[in-house]
Structure 1
């Protein structure tokens, strides 16, 4: 898989191979996080897009029918189930005559005191509202969904601020074909899909997100709902997006692979996330669980991965974006996390994209990739910034360029110490 980006935010151009483990290193504010966010948004904004559009229209139709019926004088209560049934029949109707017959049958089934004229007016109003919603072109709907998703993730800064009228383009290429999206003035102006994306992406930059499993009341009261990115991860952690039957099948198929991965996870997090009125972390020896919000930040990094595995949310070819995963981990746990990444890639055929500032973490990843025989699916990129725009150099064959940039700051400190000691050396 390849991700190509042109003129998106600060990224002037990028051509990134995503086929196993992709590592991006570079100084701050050189577009590293943008790559991961673009990939995540490209996956999740259009994943199951047809179903999303159908559900959105269905919900709008349900609300429309419900609101119109509330203005009429019916002698019986109209249940939401009845409204849902008539909406589903309207959506299945092949032509306008069929839609009108569905509405007429629906109204005939409800005893009312309306005159024939009032009834005809109601049918016409219902029909007009339904026609307006059904007439929304899929192309227009798709552009709005994509625009809204990307603008939320990138805070309205999709196109380069200096050249907002320039077309920004994203393209993902796999064996099945290419999917591309174009933006101008922070709005999706065109798209071309050759395949229906079914894989998911998980953007992990903040282990504290797992706290949201127990923060639903706070979210509801404050009105501060998570972003689409966080909402997707939240649902995946809860297992909402997969049925119990699918979870059981995944567990049976993946059992052998799970044993080895859990062997690594249990070195750090031997317990499980359980639910008893709230989500808790409980070890096998512990009699009482602790609220997941009380777990250490480093432990939460592992808990998120373990939770996604245990509830069957991870599938082959899914992408996991890790933005500076080392910052919450002790060097010893960094080693375990690096091995976990390589083991997960090997056992589950996942695609990882990792941003890092740590030479220790990078060296550890490098070692375990070689140990597991995965060196051939590792790709290295160095991000650079010049005159306000960013570019990416592939350095898979010359990774020393990354190490040099990561190690040089410590050498600068050594030189500064040496100069300071010379200046303050006793005479």
Structure 2
């Protein structure tokens, strides 16, 4: 699978192959993470568009039900009419319509008709209420086409991850931003943005993945309880109070907590988990009783707040592997996994990544570590694994990605140059 990116955020041009191992190296602020976030957004949107469609229907029906209820409450003293209050309570109305459909709608129209006959509401009010109930019926039985539903889901996912900041800032001469994905010669997705937003969306076929996971910080271990309460901008009920987090943060938090239900289901990955556990001397897991992540070291357990960040980083990776999120139909995106890791552990992390590639996993790694870059390349060559390496370069106002698969020395030199420059500065006088 190939993804082409033009004028998206800080990236002016990138053509990247996805499948097996994809590595994007570069300094900070070069757009390394953008490719992974784009693919994460697309995979999540397409995989859950049906859920999103149902959620959208529920949101519309509840909104209309609230309008009916609050209008009735202004017209009538519903505290003196318990039956009416129960019949038109928004949540109950929604639940009844979902379960009994036409029967529930008919029952409420008849109740409204009785109120009109008894002169409790005017003809105008009655007609408005009937119109609202008809709108609920239309929403309930709406068969929105798949293309429209996917288009909406994709727009929401991109907004959740990028907050609408897709079109390059400060660029007056750019006509369009574009993401184009194809599988061989077959186009899959083509999206284009102008300054005003999406102006072209073409969906031809499904991507190669059922799910995607984006990992960028081990701090999620400490703040998982906050993400439980947070919403994402992908959620429909975004008018409710509370703070928001990017979709990938919420997604990761949910997956590592739900890993207790899927542990040890994927037998072929046991040896990878075993090696990872041996590296950080234990097993990180979510304890449902205490609602905390614990490090199990056999004879004792340690609360995650007292565990080193490097252990948390390896532990999250371990949890995702053992719960099936590195399977062949999933896309695992590791954003700068070397953060908080000693070079020795970076090599072991790279070794585990390449073992997963050998088992059929598809992984994207972004890095600014020469250690992990060399290790990934070395293990791929040694084991004859499918891989593609890219270097993200910063120009005046934008970045480009260059294919360095056949010669990563330029990437290693770029990432190592600060150390060489420091040595020259410190020892120039000797």
Which bin holds the TM-score, normalised by the shorter protein? 0.7 to 0.9
- 1:159 and 2:167 aligned: yes
Aligned partners of 2:22, 2:273: CA distance in 1, in Å?
A: 23
Aligned partners of 2:214, 2:69: CA distance in 1, in Å?
A: 43
- 1:58 and 2:70 aligned: no
Over residues 78-111 of structure 1, what are the superposed CA-to-partner deviations in whole Å (9 max), with x where a residue is unaligned?
4745532414665xxxxxxxx6x65214555x79
Q: What 5-or-longer segments of structure 1 have no aligned partner?
A: 91-98, 422-427
| Residue matched to 2:199 | 189
| Residue matched to 1:293 | 305
**Any conservation in 2 of the 1:269–1:302 contact (CA below 8 Å)?**
no
Aligned partners of 1:188, 1:88: CA distance in 2, in Å?
A: 37
- 1:212 and 2:262 aligned: no
Aligned partners of 1:326, 1:30: CA distance in 2, in Å?
A: 17
**Any conservation in 1 of the 2:213–2:325 contact (CA below 8 Å)?**
no
Question: What is the aligned counterpart of 1:123 among 106, 123, 130?
Answer: 130
- 1:342 and 2:354 aligned: yes
Offset, 1:289: 4.3
| Residue matched to 2:399 | 390
Alignment of 1:30-41 (within 5 A): 30-41=30-41
131-140 vs 81-90, which moves further: 131-140
Q: What 5-or-longer segments of structure 2 have no aligned partner?
A: 73-77, 118-122, 232-240
Aligned partners of 1:392, 1:15: CA distance in 2, in Å?
A: 7
**Any conservation in 1 of the 2:325–2:332 contact (CA below 8 Å)?**
no
Aligned partners of 2:378, 2:254: CA distance in 1, in Å?
A: 34
Aligned partners of 1:217, 1:396: CA distance in 2, in Å?
A: 40
| Residue matched to 1:277 | 290
Q: What is the SS of the residue equivalent to 1:384?
A: strand
1:270–1:61 Cα change, 3 Å: same
**Any conservation in 2 of the 1:10–1:388 contact (CA below 8 Å)?**
yes
| Residue matched to 1:323 | 335
Over residues 365-395 of structure 1, what are the superposed CA-to-partner deviations in whole Å (9 max), with x where a residue is unaligned?
2233244x2x441111122233322212111
Q: What is the SS of the residue equivalent to 2:222?
A: helix
Aligned partners of 1:165, 1:366: CA distance in 2, in Å?
A: 36
Aligned partners of 1:168, 1:88: CA distance in 2, in Å?
A: 44
Offset, 1:229: 2.0
| Residue matched to 1:403 | 412
Over residues 233-292 of structure 1, what are the superposed CA-to-partner deviations in whole Å (9 max), with x where a residue is unaligned?
22222229x9x6xx48xx44x21x1321111121115224122232231415244541x3
1:218–1:113 Cα change, 3 Å: same
| Residue matched to 1:104 | 106
Q: How many residues align?
A: 399
Aligned partners of 2:229, 2:97: CA distance in 1, in Å?
A: 36
**Any conservation in 2 of the 1:151–1:186 contact (CA below 8 Å)?**
no
Offset, 1:346: 2.4
Q: What is the SS of the residue equivalent to 2:14?
A: strand
Aligned partners of 2:413, 2:301: CA distance in 1, in Å?
A: 48
Aligned partners of 1:180, 1:335: CA distance in 2, in Å?
A: 37
Offset, 1:185: 1.1
TM-score by length of 2: 0.81
Question: What is the aligned counterpart of 2:214 among 179, 203, 224?
Answer: 203
**Any conservation in 2 of the 1:48–1:196 contact (CA below 8 Å)?**
no
1:62–1:223 Cα change, 3 Å: closer
**Any conservation in 2 of the 1:164–1:185 contact (CA below 8 Å)?**
no
Question: What is the aligned counterpart of 1:414 among 404, 409, 423?
Answer: 423
**Any conservation in 2 of the 1:164–1:186 contact (CA below 8 Å)?**
no
Alignment of 1:196-275 (within 5 A): 196-197=206-207, 199-215=210-226, 223-239=242-258, 247=262, 251-252=264-265, 254-255=266-267, 257-267=268-278, 268-273=280-285, 274-275=287-288
